[in-house]
């Protein structure tokens, strides 16, 4: 529809809309007496006038054009007429429905001030702009609007002074018969022919800047009458987002159209320069797609294009390079890279997969080592379409590389296209997938493994069964020089021989390589104690020879040649001259050859057995496998250099010393402080060779000291014997020389127990050094590093006791044990106690020694003048006897379920003993072992306890020696004020005894007295008949004396006066 130019407008302020049945109104209120008219300036005008009230103003609203089309500008004109009295101002309000109409601007002849609010409301505080409006005058306000959406009718309403209002209706229609055709242009990177941006390749970019033309297909034949841009209905350019749209295309449901990519797009420098149509809907001859029977909007007229990027690689031997090399040689290859596409390439990375055993040559400077046997290089480029470039690589065959056919493979690992896609990514290669994985079967089609073809560049590696042309192999051959040698006992020769025997060895050499050996030399190193006795060879090449002599420990053979796969043997005879050098290890090696052996290095460092034992090995690793055809893994030069081997023999001569240590006859294993202990050390030559000089050492335990030694006679060779004892700190040692086979000697070693608290004592004796090679033990100065079984049998040679891993028989131990216990007695409760109170003591016995206590007697003594044993509350276990002042347990452990096996090392047992307080202790002196005066003592004592080391059937139990901590004492204070006050008291020694005197002040509460004597824990009642009180029941007192006939008054003695009350209590 032709666009109309709206009249000038003024801006107004919007007020909130009141929506009514889809219509929108504008109301304008006027002062009384004014008249308002609304004029709608449009076709098919619908007018609504407010009636029912007579006003002197009139408002009219006209809308033009009417009807309008969606998106078409609309002009609303408000006319206000005043037919009444003059107005000082003209306030107006306009409302409309924003779903269907949008605001543009406001204009007028006198631009008024206005307000615009969201929601479709415009207000004028004074549409006259302060001029007022006289009677019969009119003013107009023009508002520019836009039709937004189709609707049969929507109202624009205006209100003014004095509730005057008016409105105009607007019809909005869709544009008839106009449609859109749209789509996008994309780079079909994977050349799939379909738009796969949302599936397999979501990053395929869109292409902007492409010129797209729309033609009418006049004859429905797929082309216009003329392909000419001037005849195109519409021409547009693809936007930056890659899309295009043709708008207002008139369609009738019959006419066909054609969308074409303009040919200029493909010109050099154009947006599609180098691209090729790939999608299946586009005619590649015209670069166009049809749109048929247009009667609605059409989307998805999309064009896919592919830009071919294609590199190929060929690998060949460099010019002049032989296809056969030897280990250690260099080999040069030439790589040719060709751009088979139209897109230039740059930043090309090449990877070479080095065959096993090959490395980059030291002469190679263009390539660098990568990981996992790969080398890489980079070509900066650019490489234009149709062009080629080359690069060489030099490899070195390792010295140990195996012979045979090899293939060296190279591949394009990565390359960048020039230019990139919109995401900055390079285009993919058309028919291969660059990577750094050799033979990975790209896309599952085997294009890098089974189908990899040499020098093939014209197949599609993304198709099953075809070659991936960025990846190429080149075969070549490695020729191997390889001699191997083994040494064995000759047929029928045993490994265990007798002194003076002749021993035969067979040396076998085989050519394991692929070329002739030429001349080579075999060297045999005869062991010390053996000498050359002759040789014999099998068939050998002419010109070969061997040389040996009895006085020369080196035997050699020079072999003229040996064909690939050929074998020769040499049998060497040697004689045993000195059996004491046994065992013997005989070495042989290829010491020189005419080639570069792949897995060994000939030399004269053969290995030598030059003394007792196996001597010194060669500078080569050797595995004695005796298999001349062995190929893996023992022929690896890092594991076994196969031109060097040995064989062992030994004689029946045995060097073997043994030692045991035991307690001397009559010596108890139980000791205590100050005891002397006798050990018997026995040494025997169990071998059949005389001993050399050896040292016997005893490691004196802490808490013991050396106290002497003696030895018995034994047989030695002339000049042999026993040296003087040597004591240094805690070490006793003695040197013995030349003990004859089967001879035995005895050493009695005496030690003293200096500190029994260090027990138990573990005493170790060992042969610490020996000039011979003992068959089943290794002398040293470490008492802790050898396995030991304390069997005390010098003749024992069984598989356990003489096995070095079970019992090293030059080493033995002996144990001493210290039985000991400690006892404590502790009063429970707090002093003082009253007469008749219960007093308990806890007795605890602890095994502080290193032997189980199996018999545990106990005696508890107390002063029965002050304590009475509470037999009604006995301890557990109860005493076996209870007499006044003494409790006895014959054995606390007998039948005691808590200690079925006795009182173990470190174990304790406890029992509580209860007494009843009998008398006041306030005047008692302190009595040892208790130290508190004014308290009655209670003493506990363990004596005659027995300890057992190994239980029933073993050694007899031993008595535990008593010491200071086998008894203990505690005491209790008893407070009991008496009813009688003594005026005086005394105990005086006389010739006839002890005279005891006392005087009372009052005897009102007593009838008589008994007299006791006490010393420490012992007390006795001296009077069996009561001494009658002279003033019994009276408030006055009397004086008394009593002679303890024949008694002696000793330190600690105390005489006790027991008062007898009238009621019979004391």
Task: For 838-849, write each residue's pLDDT tens digit.
Answer: 999 999 999 988
Residues 164 and 182 reside in one and the same domain? no
pLDDT digits (tens, 9 = 90+) for 966-978: 899 999 988 887 6
Could you tell me which of 848, 861, 839, 856 has the C-alpha nearest to residue 940? 861
Local structure of 456: helix, strand or coil: coil
pLDDT tens, position by position, 657-668: 989 999 999 998
- Residue 500's pLDDT is 76
Q: Give the pLDDT of residue 12.
A: 26
The reply to whether 467 and 499 lie within a common domain is no
Q: Does residue 9 lie in a domain region?
A: no
What is the pLDDT confidence band of residue 52, given thresholds at 50, 70 and 90? very low
Assigned domain for 538 exists: yes
Structure tokens at 571: 């049998």
**Overall number of domains in the chain:** 7
| Domain end (from 139, 173, 207) | 173
pLDDT at 703: 93
Q: Do 628 and 511 lie in a common domain?
A: yes
Query: 1037 lies in which domain range?
Result: 982-1061
Residue 441: CATH number of its domain = 2.60.40.10
Task: Tell me how far apart the alpha carbons of residues 839 and 744 are, in angstroms, rounded to a whole number.
Answer: 68
CATH of the domain at 663: 2.60.40.740
- 641 and 722 part of one domain: no
pLDDT at 176: 61
Average pLDDT over residues 613-636: 71
Residue 5 neighbours by CB distance under 10 Å: 6
Distance CA 685, CA 678 (A): 23
Do residues 166 and 62 touch, judged by C-beta distance below 8 A?
A: no
CA-based end-to-end distance of the chain:
144
In a domain, 14, yes or no: no
Regarding whether 548 and 630 lie in a shared domain, the answer is yes
Domain assignment present for 7: no
* Per-residue pLDDT band at 982 (split at 50, 70, 90): confident
Cis peptide before 929 (omega within 30 of 0): yes
> Is residue 315 a part of any domain in this protein?
yes
Q: Assess whether 30 and 156 both reside in one domain.
A: yes
Of 634, 650, 666, the domain-final residue = 650
Same domain (yes/no): 951, 1002: no
pLDDT at 446 over 50: no
User: Looking at residue 859, what is its pLDDT?
Assistant: 94
Confidence of residue 631 (pLDDT cuts 50, 70, 90): low
Distance between alpha carbon 699 and the CA centroid of its chain, in Å?
46
pLDDT at residue 990, as a whole number? 93
Upper half-sphere CA count for residue 118 (Cβ side, 13 Å): 0
Q: Which helix (H) or strand (E) holds 1053?
A: strand 1053-1061
Judge if 271 and 408 occupy the same domain: no
Beta bridge partners of 746: 682
Question: Quick one: three-class SS letters along 340-394?
Answer: CCCCCEEEEEEEEECCCCEEECCCCCCCEECCCCEEEEEECCCECCCCEEEEEEE
Q: With respect to residue 962, please indicate whether it lies within any of the assigned structural domains.
A: yes
Do residues 829 and 790 both lie within one domain? no
In this predicted structure, the answer to whether residue 767 has a pLDDT above a threshold of 50 is yes
The C-alpha angle with vertex 356 and arms to 353 and 359, in degrees rounded to 5, equals 70
Q: Same domain, yes or no, for 963 and 998?
A: no
Do residues 638 and 611 share a domain? yes
Q: What are phi and psi of 1019, to 5 degrees?
A: -145, 145
Residue 472 belongs to a domain? yes
Asked if residue 113 has pLDDT above 80, the reply is: no
Could you say which of 813, 830, 858 is where a domain stops?
Answer: 813
In a domain, 11, yes or no: no
Percent of residues, the chain, with pLDDT higher than 70: 87
Tell me what pLDDT residue 639 has: 64
DSSP per-residue codes, 171-237: EEEPPTTEEEEEEEEEE-TT--SS--TTTT-TTPPB--S-EEEEEEETTSSSS-SS--GGG-SEEEE
- Looking at the structure, tell me whether residues 677 and 798 fall in a common domain: yes
In the numeric block, the tokens 């560049």 are attached to 457
Whether the pLDDT of residue 3 is over 70: the answer is no
What pLDDT, in 10s, does the model give residues 566-606? 999 999 999 988 887 888 999 999 999 998 887 888 988 78
CATH number of the domain that residue 568 is part of: 2.60.40.290
């Amino acid at each position: 529809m032709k666009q109309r130019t709206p009249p000038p407008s003024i801006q107004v302020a919007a007020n909130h809309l009141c929506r009514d049945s889809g219509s929108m109104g504008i109301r304008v209120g006027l002062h009384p007496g004014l008249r308002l008219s609304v004029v709608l300036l449009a076709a098919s005008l619908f007018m609504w006038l407010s009636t029912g009230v007579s006003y002197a103003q009139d408002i009219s609203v006209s809308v033009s054009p009417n009807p309008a089309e969606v998106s078409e500008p609309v002009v609303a004109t408000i006319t206000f007429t005043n037919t009444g009295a003059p107005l000082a101002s003209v306030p107006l309000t306009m409302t409309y429905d924003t779903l269907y109409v949008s605001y543009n601007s406001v204009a007028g002849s006198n631009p008024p001030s206005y307000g615009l609010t969201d929601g479709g409301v415009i207000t004028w505080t004074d549409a006259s702009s302060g001029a007022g409006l006289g009677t019969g005058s009119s003013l107009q306000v023009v508002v520019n609007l836009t039709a937004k959406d189709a609707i049969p009718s929507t109202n624009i309403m205006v209100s003014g002074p004095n509730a005057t209002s008016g409105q105009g209706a607007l019809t909005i229609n869709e544009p008839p018969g106009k449609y859109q055709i749209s789509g996008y242009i994309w780079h079909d990177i994977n050349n799939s022919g379909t738009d796969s941006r949302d599936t397999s390749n979501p990053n395929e970019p869109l292409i902007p800047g492409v010129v797209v033309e729309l033609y009418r297909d006049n004859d429905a034949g797929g082309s216009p009458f003329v392909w000419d841009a001037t005849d195109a209905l519409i021409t547009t350019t693809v936007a930056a987002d890659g899309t295009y749209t043709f708008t207002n295309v008139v369609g009738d449901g019959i006419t066909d159209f054609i969308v074409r990519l303009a040919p200029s797009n493909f010109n050099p420098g154009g947006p599609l320069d180098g691209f090729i149509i790939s999608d299946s809907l586009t005619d590649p001859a015209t670069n166009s797609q049809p749109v048929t029977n247009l009667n609605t909007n059409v989307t998805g007229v999309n064009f896919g294009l592919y830009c071919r990027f294609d590199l190929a690689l060929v690998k060949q031997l460099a010019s002049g390079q032989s296809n056969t090399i030897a280990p250690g040689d260099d080999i040069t290859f030439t790589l040719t890279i060709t751009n088979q596409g139209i897109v230039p390439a740059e930043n090309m990375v090449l990877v070479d997969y080095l065959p096993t055993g090959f490395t980059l040559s030291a002469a190679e400077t263009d390539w660098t080592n990568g990981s996992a046997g790969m080398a890489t290089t980079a070509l900066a480029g650019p490489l234009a379409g149709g062009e080629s470039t080359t690069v060489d690589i030099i490899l070195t065959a390792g010295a140990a590389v195996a012979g045979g056919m090899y293939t060296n493979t190279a591949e394009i690992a990565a390359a960048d296209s020039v230019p990139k896609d919109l995401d900055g990514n390079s285009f993919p290669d058309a028919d291969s997938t660059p990577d750094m994985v050799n033979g990975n079967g790209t896309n599952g089609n085997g294009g890098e493994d089974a189908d990899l073809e040499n020098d093939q560049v014209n197949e599609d590696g993304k198709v099953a069964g075809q070659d991936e042309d960025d990846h190429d192999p080149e075969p070549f051959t490695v020729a191997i020089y390889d001699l191997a040698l083994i040494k064995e006992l000759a047929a029928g020769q045993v490994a265990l021989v007798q002194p003076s025997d002749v021993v035969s060895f067979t040396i076998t050499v085989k050519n394991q390589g692929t070329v002739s050996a030429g001349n080579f030399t075999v060297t045999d190193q005869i062991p010390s104690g053996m000498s050359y006795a002759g040789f014999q060879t099998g068939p050998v090449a002419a010109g070969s020879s061997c040389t040996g002599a009895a006085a020369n420990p080196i035997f050699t053979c020079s072999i003229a040649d040996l064909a690939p796969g050929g074998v020769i043997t040499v049998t060497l005879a040697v004689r045993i001259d000195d059996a004491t050098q046994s065992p013997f290890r005989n070495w042989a090696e290829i010491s020189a050859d005419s080639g570069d052996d792949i897995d060994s290095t000939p030399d004269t460092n053969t290995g030598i057995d030059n003394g007792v034992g196996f001597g010194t090995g060669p500078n080569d690793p050797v595995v004695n496998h005796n298999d001349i055809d062995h190929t893996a893994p023992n022929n690896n030069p890092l594991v076994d250099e196969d031109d060097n081997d040995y064989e062992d023999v030994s004689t029946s001569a045995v060097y073997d010393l043994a030692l045991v240590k035991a307690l001397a006859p009559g010596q108890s294993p139980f000791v205590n402080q100050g005891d002397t202990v006798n050990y018997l050390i026995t040494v025997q030559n169990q071998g059949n060779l005389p001993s050399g000089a050896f040292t016997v050492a005893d490691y004196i335990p802490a808490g013991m000291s050396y106290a002497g030694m003696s030895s018995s006679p034994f047989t030695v060779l002339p000049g042999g014997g026993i040296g003087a004892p040597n004591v240094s700190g805690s070490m006793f040692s003695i040197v013995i020389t030349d003990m004859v086979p089967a001879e035995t000697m005895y050493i009695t070693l005496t030690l003293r127990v200096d500190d029994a608290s260090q027990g138990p004592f573990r005493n170790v004796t060992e042969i610490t050094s020996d000039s011979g090679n003992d068959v089943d033990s290794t002398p040293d100065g470490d008492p802790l590093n050898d396995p030991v079984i304390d069997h005390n049998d010098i003749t024992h040679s069984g598989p356990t006791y003489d096995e070095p891993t079970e019992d090293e028989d030059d080493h033995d131990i002996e144990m001493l044990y210290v039985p000991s216990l400690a006892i404590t007695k502790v009063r429970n409760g707090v002093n003082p106690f009253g007469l008749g109170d219960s007093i308990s003591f806890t007795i605890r016995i602890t095994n502080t020694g290193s032997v189980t206590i199996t018999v545990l007697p106990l005696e508890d003594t107390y002063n029965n003048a002050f304590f009475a044993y509470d037999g009604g509350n006995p301890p557990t276990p109860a005493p076996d006897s209870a007499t006044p002042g003494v409790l006895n347990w014959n054995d606390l452990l007998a039948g005691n379920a808590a200690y079925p096996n006795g009182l173990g090392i470190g174990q304790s047992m406890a029992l509580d003993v209860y007494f009843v307080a009998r008398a006041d202790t306030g005047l008692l002196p302190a009595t040892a072992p208790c130290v508190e005066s004014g308290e009655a003592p209670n003493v506990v004592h363990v004596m005659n306890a027995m300890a057992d080391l190994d239980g029933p059937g073993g050694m007899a139990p031993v008595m535990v020696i008593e010491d200071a901590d086998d008894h203990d004492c505690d005491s209790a204070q008893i407070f009991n004020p008496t009813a009688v006050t003594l005026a005086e008291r005394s105990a005086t020694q006389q010739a006839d005894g002890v005279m005891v005197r006392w005087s009372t002040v009052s005897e009102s509460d007593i009838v008589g007295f008994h007299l006791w004597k006490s010393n420490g824990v012992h007390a006795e009642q001296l009077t069996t008949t009561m001494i009658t009180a002279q003033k019994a029941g009276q408030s006055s007192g009397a004086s008394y004396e009593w002679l303890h006939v024949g008694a002696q008054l000793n330190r600690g003695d105390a005489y006790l006066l027991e008062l007898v009350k009238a009621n019979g209590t004391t």
